């Protein structure tokens, strides 16, 4: 404990360690969060290296080995068309992580921008933006996502778009609240008093102060987005066959639960691990960076 506090107190001439550095250190000391991060890194590596490390082709069928159990040739068994489950789970990571990352990046960018402007500008703009966001929040998350995916048509881009749209309101609400809080603080008033224009104040002074909160929200939103992608694919509204998605694999295996239970095991475990890891990382980031929840 002493070791980490030392720099703060014994470097009178240098700048104190930034809140970022302190947060990062706190995060690294959180075992659960680190575990989550490792799981995510493993799945990311699998997704990126999929074509190199998978033993079979993604859509390579083998009609003489239908719904086979785990074996040395097929470590996680095969599916209803004799495709290798291990291969498809690894390729499924690409879809899950792409959708999770893609939709949250869009939602974070759009939602934060709208929220910041609404909080900073206020007035009618704030009213209009926030009422629209409230209206979207009034609908259940998944129902709205299903409706959007159905309207847009099922494919990868539209899945990302649908989940991005329904993930936007929480970002907008969060950043708006933060901006309203920061606006009243001395440093903002000082910046304005020194003649900084609105945009400069918002982006150079306020944004860095609320960024950590946005990032925490993003990591938790990604867990929800991965789960939403699985749900959409489960309902046939996600990526289309033969591209594997954990959700669609789970839907197929549902029909064989009584006879070939291992078919459900692999995609189910993959979803569980990734969503758990994202939540652990999200919790860790919140504990590390969000001043309000920090204990001690």
Partner 1 sequence: MIRRTLIALAIGLLLAAGMAQTVRIGLHQDPPNLDPILSQAFSDRSVTYQIYDRLVDLDENLTIVPMLATSWEVSDDGLVYTLQIREGVTFHDGTPLDAESVRYTLDRNLTREGSARRDELSSIENVAVTGPHTVEITLRSPNAAFLAVLSGNAGAIVSPTAAEAAGADFGNAPVGSGPFIFDSRERQNHLTLRANDDYWNGAPSIRQLVYRPFPDADVRVANLLSGGVDIIIPIEPKDIASVDAADGYDVIAYDSLGWRALVMNLTRPPFDDPQVRLAVAQAIDRAALAAVVYDNAVVPLIGPFPPNTPGYDPDLEAPAYDPEAARATLEAAGALGTEFTLLILPHEVLHGQFWQAILTQAGFVVQIEQMEAGPYLEVVNNMRHDATLVGWSGRIDPDPQFFPWVHSTGNLNWGGFDDPRIDDLLESARAETDPVTREGLYRDVARLVVEESMIVWGIQSQNIVGVASNLEGIPLIPDGTVRWHGVTVR
Interface contacts to partner 1, rule CB under 8 A: 59, 61, 63, 66, 80-82, 154, 236, 240-242, 252, 254-259
Q: How far is the CB of 65 from partner 1 (least distance, A)?
A: 11
Q: Which is nearer to partner 1, 7 or 261 (CB)?
A: 261
Nearer to partner 1, 78 or 175 (CB): 78
Cα torsion angle, 271, 108, 282, 135, sign? negative
> CA 113: distance to chain centroid?
18
Beta strands in 167-274 (DSSP E): none
Closer of 218 and 237 to partner 1 (Cβ): 237
CB of 154 to partner 1, least distance (A): 7
Q: Which is nearer to partner 1, 32 or 81 (CB)?
A: 81
Tell me how far CA of residue 162 lies from CA of 115, 152, 171, 247, in angstroms: 19, 8, 15, 16
- Phi/psi-derived region of residue 28, left when phi > 0, alpha when psi is between -120 and 50, beta in every other case: alpha
Q: Which is nearer to partner 1, 167 or 243 (CB)?
A: 243
Q: How far is the CB of 241 from partner 1 (least distance, A)?
A: 5
Least distance CB 247 / partner 1 (angstroms): 13
DSSP state of 256: T
DSSP string, 13-75: SSPPPPHHHHHHHHHHT-HHHHHHHHHHHHHHHHHHHHHHH-SS-TT---TTSTT----SSST
**Smallest gap, in angstroms, from Cβ of residue 146 to partner 1?**
13
């Amino acid at each position: 404990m002493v070791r980490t506090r030392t720099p703060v107190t014994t470097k009178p001439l240098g700048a104190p360690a930034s809140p970022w550095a302190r947060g990062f250190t706190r995060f690294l000391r959180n075992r659960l969060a680190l575990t989550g991060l490792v799981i995510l890194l493993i799945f990311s590596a699998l997704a990126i290296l999929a074509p190199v490390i998978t033993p079979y082709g993604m859509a390579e069928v083998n009609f003489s080995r239908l719904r086979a159990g785990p074996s040395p040739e097929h470590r996680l068994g095969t599916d209803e068309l004799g495709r290798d489950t291990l291969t498809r789970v690894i390729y499924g990571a690409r879809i899950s992580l792409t959708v999770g990352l893609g939709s949250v990046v869009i939602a974070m960018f759009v939602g934060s921008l709208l929220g910041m402007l609404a909080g900073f500008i206020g007035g009618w703009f704030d009213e209009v933006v926030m009422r629209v966001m409230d209206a979207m929040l009034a609908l259940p998350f998944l129902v709205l996502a299903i409706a959007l995916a159905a309207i847009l048509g099922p494919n990868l881009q539209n899945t990302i778009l649908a989940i991005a749209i329904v993930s936007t309101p929480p970002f907008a609400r969060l950043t708006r609240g933060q901006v309203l809080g920061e606006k009243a603080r001395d440093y903002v008033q000082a910046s304005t008093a020194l003649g900084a224009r609105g945009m400069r104040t918002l982006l150079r002074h306020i944004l860095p102060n609320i960024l950590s909160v946005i990032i925490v929200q993003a990591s938790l939103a990604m867990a929800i987005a991965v789960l939403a992608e699985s749900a959409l694919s489960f309902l046939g509204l996600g990526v289309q066959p033969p591209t594997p998605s954990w959700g669609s694999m789970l839907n197929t295996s549902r029909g064989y639960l009584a006879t070939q239970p291992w078919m459900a095991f692999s995609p189910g475990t993959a979803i569980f691990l990734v969503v758990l890891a994202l939540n652990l990382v999200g919790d860790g980031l919140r504990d590390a960076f969000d001043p309000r929840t920090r204990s001690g």
